Amino acid sequence: MDRWIGKTAIVTGAASGIGQAITCALLRYGVNVAAIDIVQEKLHELIAKKEQQGFPGILEIIRCDVTSEEQLDRTFEEIETKMKGVDIMVNNAGCCKYSRVIDSEWKSFQLILNTNVTSYAACMNKVVHSMRNRNVEGHIFNVNSVLGHYFLPKNEGDIDSAVDYNLYPASKHATVALTHTVRREIANIKPYIRITSISPGIVKTNIAAQSEKMRNIFKKIPFIQPEDIADAVIYALGTRQEVQITELTIQHTGEFP
């Protein structure tokens, strides 16, 4: 990890859950982080945590709605100016609606796809340009999901069989395919850029906090912690430049399948 000390990372959805854990892990290893999230208050909690833990990396917090092209453009311009380019990109921002597609509306479809897919594509587009312009080693991480590889059986474990995931599985299938697509594009131009897909199983985060059906899910089924995903990011970053970890699936022992 020594070669990443003083380099710059962007983490989306950085204020809580997996994003917060990844941000703290990078700061701990001396990486400077631009932490992006739509929730300003939670970003300020990150500052307090950094100061309390004494992480050596520099932290910049930026409130940004990743579904807004204007806000995303402004955010990247700010990062390029303040932090002189991006070396590590962690696409982590995510959105899920726990309802059936047939009961939902256009606004929900747009929010899920723009958060989970379009923002990933836009951020990769921007950071690849930043990395190539400076001719530096870069690493992109897309936090996908096991639901991007298969569908849960309807009555899996103790999960309420009435719970549905709307376009979330479709969006995660899309980001898995998107990751492979960009990896091939990068391979064709042969820069020093690696790209890793991380597909977690059930992780204890607040993504289900707004759903009455899902609020108590972590009392019913086994789960892993956000720090387990952060460990995977550090592992992949720490491998030799010639080694690309293309896919990591991380689940609780015994989690189906």
Distance (Å, whole) CA 232 – CA 163:
29
For 51, counting Cβ atoms within 10 Å of its Cβ (0-12 exposed, 13-18 middle, 19+ buried), the class is exposed
Q: 176-183: which pairs have CB atoms within 8 A and are 24 or more residues apart?
A: 176/144, 176/148, 176/149, 178/117, 178/120, 178/121, 178/124, 178/142, 179/142, 179/144, 182/124, 182/128, 182/140, 183/246
- Taking alpha carbons only, the member of 16, 34, 42 closest to residue 203 is 16
Place of tokens 């977690």: 200
Asked about 168 being catalytic, the answer comes back as yes
Q: Considering 29, 120, 168, 192, which one is annotated as catalytic? A: 168
Q: For residues 193 and 128, is the Cβ–Cβ distance under 8 A? A: yes
**Share of the chain residues as helix, strand and coil, in percent rounded to the nearest 5:** 45, 15, 40
SS (H, E, C) 185-202: HHHHHCCCEEEEEEEECC
Q: For residues 6 and 32, is the Cβ–Cβ distance under 8 A? A: yes
3-state SS, residue 228: helix
DSSP annotation of 16 reads: S
Query: Which residues carry out catalysis?
Result: 168
